[in-house]
C-alpha cells in the first residue's frame, strides 16, 4: 500500500516584503550591470568589459606612479585633474559602442522586454533602470581615473590644500564624470534602440560618435570652417565639461563660450534620450 498523501493546503497569500516599483528598478539595474560586465556568465563574457575598464585606468596609474617616485620633481608632467578625462576617452568610447548596447538590445532579442513589463515596471521605469545601470558602470571609466589621481595626489601631499578645497575638487571630479557618462549613455542607448542586433547597434554608435567627431575636426581644422561646428561632436563636446568646471578650456574649444558648450551637451542628452523614449513608446510589449 502506498504512503502517498494529498494535502490540501489551499491558497496562501505572499507574506514576504514588497519593494514595489523602486525595488523592481533596483533589481533590473543590478541585473543589467551583471549582464554587461559578464558577471554570472562564462569567462569569455567577462574579459572584454574588464579589459576596457583596466585600459581606462592605465594613464592615471602611470601618472600616479610618477608622482610617487618623483614627488615634486614630477610637477612638470603631472596633468590637471580635468585632463584625466581626455586620457580615458577611447576606453569610454569602446565601452559605449561595444558593451552598453547589450543593456537593451539583448532584452528585445530574447523576449525579456515583454516579461519585464508584466512586473510593476512600466516603459519609463524600465528605461530608468537601464540608464542607471549603464551610466553607473560607465562612470567607473569616466570618473574613476580622475578620482584615483585626486586621491593618490592627496595622499602624497600633492593635492588640494585643506579639507574644503579637497571636497570641492572631489565633487567636481565626480560631477564631471557622471555628466559625461549620462550624455554618452543617452547617445548610445538612443542609437541602440533603433535595432535589435547588437552588432548593428555598435556600428551605429561608432558612426555617430566617432564619425561625427572626425567629420567636425576635418571641417574645422582642414576646411577652415567655423569653430562652432565642434559642438556637433558628441564624443568631444562632453569632455569639455570637466575643463569648464575647473576653470579651463581645451585647445579645440578655446574660442567657444561656456553657454554654447552647455547647450550643446544638453542638446545631445535630449536627442539621445528623446530617441530612446520615442522608440520604446512605439515598441510593442508582446
DSSP structure class, residue 80: P
- Evaluate whether residue 45 is within a structural domain: yes
pLDDT value for 128: 95
The domain of 270 spans 20-282
Q: Hey, what's the cell of 119?
A: 512586473
Instruction: Give domain status of residue 190, yes or no.
Output: yes
> In the prediction, which pLDDT does 73 show?
58
Residue 264 forms part of a structural domain: yes
Low-confidence ranges of the chain (pLDDT < 50): none
Q: Report yes or no on 5 lying in a domain.
A: no
Amino acid 265: pLDDT: 96
Look at residue 213 in the predicted model and tell me its pLDDT.
Answer: 93
Residue 244 falls within a domain, yes or no?
yes
CA-based R_g, the chain, Å: 23
Residue 272 lies in a domain: yes
| Under 8 Å between Cβ of 286 and 114 | yes
* Geometric angle at alpha carbon 7, from 5 and 12, rounded to 5°: 160
Q: Is residue 12 part of a domain?
A: no
d(CA 65, CA 148): 12
Q: Which three cell numbers stand for residue 3?
A: 504512503
CA dihedral 176, 177, 179, 182 (to 10 degrees): 170
Contacts of 96 (CB under 8 A, 6+ apart): 138, 184, 185, 187, 188, 205, 209
For residue 32, being part of any structural domain is answered with yes
pLDDT in tens, 255-264: 999 999 999 9
Q: CA–CA distance from 25 to each of 40, 124, 254, 271, 280 (Å)? A: 20, 10, 41, 23, 17
How many domains does one find in the chain? 1
Give the pLDDT of residue 6.
60
Check: CB of residue 88 under 8 Å from CB of residue 142: yes
Q: Do 157 and 68 touch, CB atoms closer than 8 A? A: no
Q: Which pLDDT does position 22 carry in this prediction?
A: 85
108: nearest Cα among 230, 195, 23, 213: 195
pTM across the whole model:
0.89
For 202-240, the pLDDT digits (tens) are 999 999 999 999 999 999 988 888 999 999 999 999 999
Amino acid at each position: 500500500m502506498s504512503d502517498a498523501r494529498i494535502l490540501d493546503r489551499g491558497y496562501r497569500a505572499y507574506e514576504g516584503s514588497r519593494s514595489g516599483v523602486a525595488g523592481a528598478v533596483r533589481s533590473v539595474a543590478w541585473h543589467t550591470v551583471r549582464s554587461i560586465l559578464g558577471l554570472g556568465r562564462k569567462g569569455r563574457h567577462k574579459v572584454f568589459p574588464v579589459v576596457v575598464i583596466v585600459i581606462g585606468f592605465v594613464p592615471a596609474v602611470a601618472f600616479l606612479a610618477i608622482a610617487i617616485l618623483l614627488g615634486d620633481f614630477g610637477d612638470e608632467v603631472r596633468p590637471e585633474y580635468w585632463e584625466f578625462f581626455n586620457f580615458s576617452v577611447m576606453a569610454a568610447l569602446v565601452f559605449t559602442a561595444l558593451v552598453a548596447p547589450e543593456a537593451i538590445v539583448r532584452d528585445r532579442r530574447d523576449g525579456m522586454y515583454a516579461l519585464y513589463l508584466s512586473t510593476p515596471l512600466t516603459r519609463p521605469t524600465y528605461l530608468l533602470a537601464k540608464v542607471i545601470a549603464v551610466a553607473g558602470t560607465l562612470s567607473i571609466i569616466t570618473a574613476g581615473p580622475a578620482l584615483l589621481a585626486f586621491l593618490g595626489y592627496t595622499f602624497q601631499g600633492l593635492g588640494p590644500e585643506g579639507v574644503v578645497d579637497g571636497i570641492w575638487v572631489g565633487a567636481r571630479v565626480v560631477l564631471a564624470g557622471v555628466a559625461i557618462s549620462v550624455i554618452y549613455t543617452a547617445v548610445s542607448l538612443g542609437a541602440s534602440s533603433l535595432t535589435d542586433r547588437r552588432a548593428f547597434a555598435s556600428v551605429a554608435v561608432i558612426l555617430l560618435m566617432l564619425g561625427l567627431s572626425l567629420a567636425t575636426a576635418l571641417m574645422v581644422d582642414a576646411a577652415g570652417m567655423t569653430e562652432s561646428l565642434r559642438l556637433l561632436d558628441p564624443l568631444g563636446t562632453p569632455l569639455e565639461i570637466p575643463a569648464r568646471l575647473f576653470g579651463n578650456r581645451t585647445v579645440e574649444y578655446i574660442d567657444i563660450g561656456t553657454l554654447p558648450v552647455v547647450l550643446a551637451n544638453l542638446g545631445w542628452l535630449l536627442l539621445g534620450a528623446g530617441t530612446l523614449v520615442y522608440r520604446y513608446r512605439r515598441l510593442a510589449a508582446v
